[in-house]
């Protein structure tokens, strides 16, 4: 195998692989390598999110999130159907359970109108009950364009399509980038196996995006901090209590959507996630710890400013992370009949959240060009939904 490629993409998550696929479509004769440090694709944020196709209703009008979520979601569903990936555009409801949430719900609806989110409508308490018999709320928004999908299946389909277009293009797994040398006309990557070189390198490193950019000598104004989300799931005997997707009204101060119910592509019903600071970027248990990850996060002054602004919210999230009873109490706001005995512990994921020096969560996508390379520094939710649209943005700037 040659170690020289026209383009190398670092990161085998859904954004990296969508970019590889779109790049191969545009330049079928270019050889592309995707370097993935783990043994398979989609092992972190891609394979550990809630599997939801987002509609774009929440996002600030005109933002990359709003524009790319809508465009990307349509592309994603079309791709999944054509490539036999499990997908179901089942719709969701966003439920207000108390009067104080009604103005926020109205703001979300108005954003949806501005963003062109198709088919949204208000639901009364009675209409909520018709769609989801076990959910109780004052008012809700019905979002018909939301759905569920197998994101890891999408990743594998991207690889297959890339290989079909150009047999010289490769996915190279268990290959971690250790050092980056950017020259005038090429970039050399020293990895855990061998060295590679390419005319152009696109870094889609997710939880490691800031560290990779620093290896390329990029000067950053953000730092990646991990937030772990823990999921529960309804036991089989309680799975009938949810038909599709049910979300609470989110706290507008945070980029998290709150603890919600999700019918997954396999028919199981997940509940979650919460959002707590994690002491290990790729740590998926409540006790995961990395000295390096923790030290880096706590030495970054933006982390402490974030904690200072939102310490009360953080404590509440931590309480729920270690108490099944408190987690279920949160679910009972929308489903009063649910009991502790009807849920069981499921998986966890870690979200890569970019924080600036003032302790603000960077809410939108952040992509920079440095040397001859592209760095996707921040790709928060709905990055999975928007992956093909994000890929278009990247590819359109490559000649």
C-alpha distances in angstroms, 131 versus 67, 87, 241, 277?
Answer: 29, 20, 11, 35
Task: Specify the pLDDT at position 90.
Answer: 97
Task: Specify the pLDDT at position 228.
Answer: 94
Q: Residue for token digits 């119910």?
A: 261
Task: Specify the pLDDT at position 321.
Answer: 81
Query: For the purposes of burial, counting CB atoms within 10 Å of the CB of 83, is it exposed (0-12), middle (13-18) or buried (19 or more)?
Result: middle
How much is the pTM? Answer: 0.95
For the domain 1-85+148-221+361-399, what is the CATH code? 3.50.50.60
| CB distance 147 to 90 below 8 Å | yes
274-328 tens-digit pLDDT: 889 999 999 999 899 999 999 999 999 999 999 998 878 888 888 888 899 999 9
Roughly how many angstroms between the first and final C-alpha of the chain, as a whole number? 25
Task: Specify the pLDDT at position 253.
Answer: 73
Task: Specify the pLDDT at position 215.
Answer: 97
Task: Specify the pLDDT at position 69.
Answer: 93
Task: Specify the pLDDT at position 1.
Answer: 57
The structural domains of the chain, with segments of one domain joined by +, span: 1-85+148-221+361-399
Task: Specify the pLDDT at position 187.
Answer: 97
Tell how strand 52-53 and strand 147-149 pair up: antiparallel
Residue ranges, the chain, pLDDT below 50: none
């Amino acid at each position: 195998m040659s170690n020289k490629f026209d383009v190398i993409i670092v990161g085998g998550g859904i954004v990296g692989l969508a970019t590889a696929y779109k790049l191969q479509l545009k330049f079928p004769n270019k050889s592309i390598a995707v370097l993935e440090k783990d043994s398979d694709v989609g092992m972190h944020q891609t394979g550990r999110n809630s599997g939801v196709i987002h509609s774009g209703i929440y996002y600030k009008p005109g933002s990359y999130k709003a524009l790319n979520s809508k465009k990307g979601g349509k592309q994603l569903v079309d791709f999944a159907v054509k490539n036999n990936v499990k997908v179901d555009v089942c719709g969701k409801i966003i439920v207000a359970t108390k009067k104080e949430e009604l103005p926020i719900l109205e703001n979300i609806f108005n954003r949806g109108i501005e963003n062109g989110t198709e088919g949204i409508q208000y639901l009364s308490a009675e209409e909520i009950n018709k769609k989801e018999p076990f959910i109780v709320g004052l008012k809700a928004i019905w979002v018909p364009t939301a759905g569920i999908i197998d994101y890891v299946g999408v990743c594998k389909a991207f690889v297959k399509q890339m290989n079909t277009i150009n047999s010289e293009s490769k996915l190279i797994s268990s290959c971690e980038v250790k050092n980056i040398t950017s020259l005038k006309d090429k970039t050399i990557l020293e990895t855990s196996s061998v060295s590679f070189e390419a005319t152009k390198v696109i870094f889609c490193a997710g939880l490691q995006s800031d560290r990779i950019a620093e290896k390329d000598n990029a000067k950053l104004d953000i730092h990646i901090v991990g937030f772990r989300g823990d999921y529960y799931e309804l036991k089989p005997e309680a799975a009938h209590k949810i038909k599709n997707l049910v979300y609470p009204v989110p706290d507008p101060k945070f980029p998290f959507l709150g603890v919600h119910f999700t019918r997954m592509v396999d028919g199981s019903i997940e509940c979650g996630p919460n959002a707590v600071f994690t002491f290990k970027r790729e740590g998926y248990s409540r006790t995961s710890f990395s000295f390096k990850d923790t030290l880096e996060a706590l030495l970054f002054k933006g982390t402490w400013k974030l904690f200072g602004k939102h310490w009360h919210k953080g404590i509440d999230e931590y309480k729920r992370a270690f108490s099944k009873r408190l987690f279920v109490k949160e679910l009972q706001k929308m489903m009063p009949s649910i009991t502790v005995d009807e849920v069981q512990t499921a998986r966890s994921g870690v979200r890569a959240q970019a924080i600036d020096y003032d302790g603000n969560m960077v809410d939108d996508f952040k992509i920079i060009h440095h040397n001859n390379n592209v760095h996707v520094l921040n790709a928060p939710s709905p990055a999975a939904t928007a992956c093909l649209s994000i890929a278009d943005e990247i590819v359109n700037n490559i000649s």
